Structure 1
Amino acid sequence: MSASIVADTAQCFSTHHFACLIGYGASAVCPYLALETCRQWRLSNKTLNLMRNGKMPTVTIEQAQRNFIKAVKSGLLKILSKMGISLLSSYCGAQIFEIYGLGQEVVDLAFCGSVSKIGGLTLDELGRETLSFWVKAFSEDTAKRLENFGFIQSRPGGEYHANNPEMSKLLHKAIREKRDNAYTVYQQHLASRPVNVLRDLLELKSDRAPIPIGKVESATSIVERFCTGGMSLGAISRETHEAIAIAMNRIGGKSNSGEGGEDPIRWNPLTDVVDGYSPTLPHLKGLQNGDTATSAIKQVASGRFGVTPTFLVNADQIEIKIAQGAKPGEGGQLPGKKVSAYIARLRNSKPGVPLISPPPHHDIYSIEDLAQLIYDLHQINPKAKVSVKLVSEAGIGTVASGVSKANADIIQISGHDGGTGASPISSIKHAGGPWELGLTETNQTLIQNGLRERVVLRVDGGFRSGQDVLIAAAMGADEYGFGSVAMIATGCVMARICHTNNCPVGVASQREELRARFPGVPGDLVNYFLFVAEEVRAALAQLGYEKLDDIIGRTDLLKPKHISLVKTQHIDLGYLLSNAGLPEWSSSQIRSQDVHTNGPVLDETILADPEVVFSISSLS
């Protein structure tokens, strides 16, 4: 006997809710309370006044409900496309989810077969939490309007957001004043925040006595491990993109071009700077002779915008972006209003035309296809290391092993707790996974397969402090990516309107009048990364280690932090802390090893023939 399941529920109102219900077997969903909310919204005095005054299009109750249903359908189609699924019937019951924070009894009862590595809430605890929301809504002293919990945007008294106004103010104060005690206040703010990521449940311990900080490797050595996120020129302004690149080049770190190409004017060092200004880059301030605005990492993404042979040969590293932590399975989308004449020229397009990158690479459908692209990139620029950017999820270890065998030099694991202002809310909230789990799985799988010493492991996603760097190092990461916080350091105020082209400080706008407000200078970002490096040095001294290399992969230096919190009391961190049975390996030489080569190539044999060289030179 077969039957369909119809979910008749008041708790379903977002795209993710529908995706979960359908993904776990519901053939249809009736969100009756959401539809009733549409009706009440249409009949409210506020809505009626807005329509009457012409400030809002006039819609009927039925139209409002149809608009809601259309939005949900669009969201579901987006989710299907992320997973490479064409039909909703194929998604129904597919259970393509990974669970974080629910205990095994809940998983066995309601989500049988889904991956849940760390455990979490029991049924009783889940029931009490649900009841607490009901009590808040229906107690006698409840206000007429339901409380806004700040799930989407930071607000006083609402849900904690890691990127919040207070954090931004403290960071700006520290880097602009360049005072150690101001950075200490910023550190204390981060340390006192509520638990909101897995690493907040961990702390460092040591098996050694502290050493003088003078014995620890220098800050200039540590910052060479730092990278910035792949933010494209177009998504952010020219001023922001170039300021970040100059700052990273000053400290020996690496900036990332993102998808969108790069202006050749940036590939040569500046020699014409006077009083912090250069005629070559007249829109920037705080410059120095010898500064270079080129991005050390050149990104090759699915749209291939701006990717040319000249672009690639001017790279120190080339990154193949397979997935993005903030929105895995989605390609980039640059709205037409952000495609100025300058951006269009770099991307070989026309001004005003929306530029959409497809989710998959058109030429990568297997690990062999990826190996071919890595081969081609090594061939066009033999001096550049090739990295492959993956998103943290269950099974990433197997993929990473294939990437290593495909001759990649670097594997980047991107966590979900980063995220740009231009990513869809449903993706920021519900897609991707913690880098702590992805990094652990990747590191362990590569060690087990004897591949760990072939590749550098880089991790990004929500990095804000030296503490994040130290925990990532203990879990196996060699290099560390900073995205959102680098934007904040250059002046971003987290307005969360990146996609509108109306960024109030010109960080993520192509409008000239807004770009003129850009407050950042490269020195601000330099100061931030030097502060982070000094924080790492101080912690290493307390741990008794001289070099960051000495603690890479040392999960025995991590221990669970004692936290009295119902939601975390059943979280099992054993998966993150277990290193038993893994073969011995060393991280000390990984970053300094030569670029992987393609070996003997027929082209080189042909070009070694003097007759061929003579023929080419005579024809040219």
Structure 2
Amino acid sequence: MYDSRFEHDACGIGFVADAGGRASRGIVDAALAALHRVRHRGAVAADHRSGDGAGLLLAIPDAFLRDWMQRAAIHVESPARLGVAVVFLSNAPGPDGHQQRRLTRRLFAEACGAEQLDLIDWRPVPVDPDALGDLARSTAPQIEQAIITAGDSVSTADAEARCYRARKRVERAIRAAGLQAYVASMSFRTMTYKAMCAADQLAAFYPDLRDPRFVAPFAIFHQRYSTNTAPSWERAQPFRMLCHNGEINTIQGNVNRMRAREGRLGAGLSDDEALLVPVIDDRGSDSAMLDNALELLVRGGRDIRQGLAMLVPEAWEGFDVDPAVRDFYRYHACLMEPWDGPAGLVFTDGTRVGAALDRNGLRPLRYAVCEDGLIACASEAGAVDVNGHGRVRRGKLGPGEMLCVDPEHGGLEENDAIKTRLAAQEPYGRWLEDELQSLDTGEPDETVMPDLVARQAAFGYTKEEFTYVLRPMATQGKEPIFSMGDDTALSVLAQPPRLLYSYFKQRFAQVTNPPIDHLRERLVMSLRSYLGAPAPLLSGGREAARLVQLDSFLLYPSGLEAVRTLGNPFASSDLNATFPVAEGACGLRAACERLAEDAERAARLGASILIISDRRAGPERAPIPALLAVGSVHHHLMRQGLRGQTSLLVETDEAREVHHIVCLLGYGAQAICPRLGMASIRALASAGHLKGEATDGRGAQEHYVKALEDGTLKVLAKMGISTLDGYQGAQIFEIRGRVCRGVAGPGEPGLLQAPQAGHRIPCDEPRCRRRPPRRGASGTGPGVSGAERDGGGARAATRCDGATGWQRLRLLRALCPHRQ
């Protein structure tokens, strides 16, 4: 039964701003009042006072700071631009805590000096600990503001870039020294006040916010509701450029791909790009990581609205949008994958302040434009009191929409005007026409694979798969429907071991994170994929569009051959994902290492498309499980800093079901050719085993591909992800079994040591001999010989001993346990 006590909500966010950029006390008071009104959006601890976090991000009150400096007898030239760094220092008591705080201040001063910033003094921020609950008080840091300045000849943009580099320097030094410290903000435009408290306690905790001299032209407010991370002072919002209500479902893939870009970010942020690494602080929440990415784009020279449109684009693929705007999004899709998931965003670069929604509009944002220039936006109507401000125009943001208050360009700018302005910045359409190559996925193959039966046996195809999985996909163009539940043994306990894919369980959206209806909301979804070497993230110009675009990640064999024939700059290299059968199970690890080294060598020689193929599997060569091969290459290239220069394409005879496909995509594949699956569907049609619409080989293959595509969309949708490029490399799986727990990917040592690589190398020792199949147990389907499914896992039904040559490949189902 419904009970409102169990209803969960998400964060409360918003901003209050003056359209003309006029600073006033009323803006701060309105933001504090709005924060109080969204208190119900957050949660509190058992002490009823420690909250998930609340905060304000405001323009620096210059007069307020200069007055404090005058009273503190600190002299600074009046025209000098003042900046503020808000630093959370260690709260450790005694001499040890004092030493940590002193060292942090020294490291901060050194970082400022390295970027030609002058540190004027440290200002202890007045606080009232009695306003906090016991939990928040016990973890409260010592909060100080470092007052900094730059020379008069330094532009604001350059000063902000220096702040960014200085903060990265001090963060690196703090990590290296093992100190407890956090730079909440560092800017010549903005400063933050946040705490691990409820919204209505923030002003009580920070007396500064109640001071009548504290004025601002805008204020961003946020009341946090922790959904996927624990509350902490550092995770309270707003962050340095934005606050976020929602969840980033693709966060692991976004972080991995940002790491892959490190070392070749482009643009002139610094002569030494290593200074900016890591771009993403993986200790933060998903919202903090999004803020890290946006900050990089803005400090790299992009307009904050452009940066946000890159990270959280609208659904431009399936809707009728202006051609110039479509070209803008197509161009930037070549540089950045979407940070996908439900998102209400409020942002600022210190001059402009605005709000935006994700492509599905899954978080509410309502705004009010007042006659006297007050503009308010919040996660619910009524959060900001606009009575007494003249006539009011109200509205709400729709999916993918954005609004911005830009005092330098006439005040409020709404979605269409923003997107038109962004699209007119560069000739994106011409660049795409000149550089972006569209490649067809190919045509169904009508030829018969000569060794079809042997390969089906080698890769463990079973009668059940043909009857209950592949045949419905070929005839109906969709996945078969099964009853709910799985009463089979966990893969880690099953004997004999199953295919590697079965150890990975798909995650799904939950709590405040809604799934997507992939049938009725198809317009917001995309299976578009790109091949080639992406340009440096901070670069511009036509080179960024120099990629190959695929409308679908699934390739027919003819489409794969077309990729192989592409010349520079899309040179490809085939990687052999097989190893000698004679090496036995212990040869698998060495094979994975060789494969990874081959990939690294090919990438360094200029190959931008790496094709991982098990085509050479045969009587004397066993295939590396495709998921293990992809994971090994993906993670090795990540470690070598080469993943951002290549794309991975998989040609495999092993993957044939939707779950197999999404596992490969989730661990780094950008395109897949399920060669044997298509050949098997062709054989079913030729043998007359198909009934319904698709009875010929061509139509059956088209239905099979459609079923795989629709099934992939379903998997993306149930995790709340709309686009394939956001899912690629996201690793959104749970892994069952002690050996697998905590493993980052199939390329990691844990899985290599487990008896779950997916295939069985024949062994002549008596303890590894398997019983022959029970009479009548094995089925006969097109290309199926002597195999059966037992307890949900396919197992080869041929004796282990005495198998030689091509017959031995029938047994490639899992590693022999004693040969680890």
Bigger share in strand: 2
Bigger share in helix: 1
Query: Normalising to structure 1: TM-score of the pair?
Result: 0.34
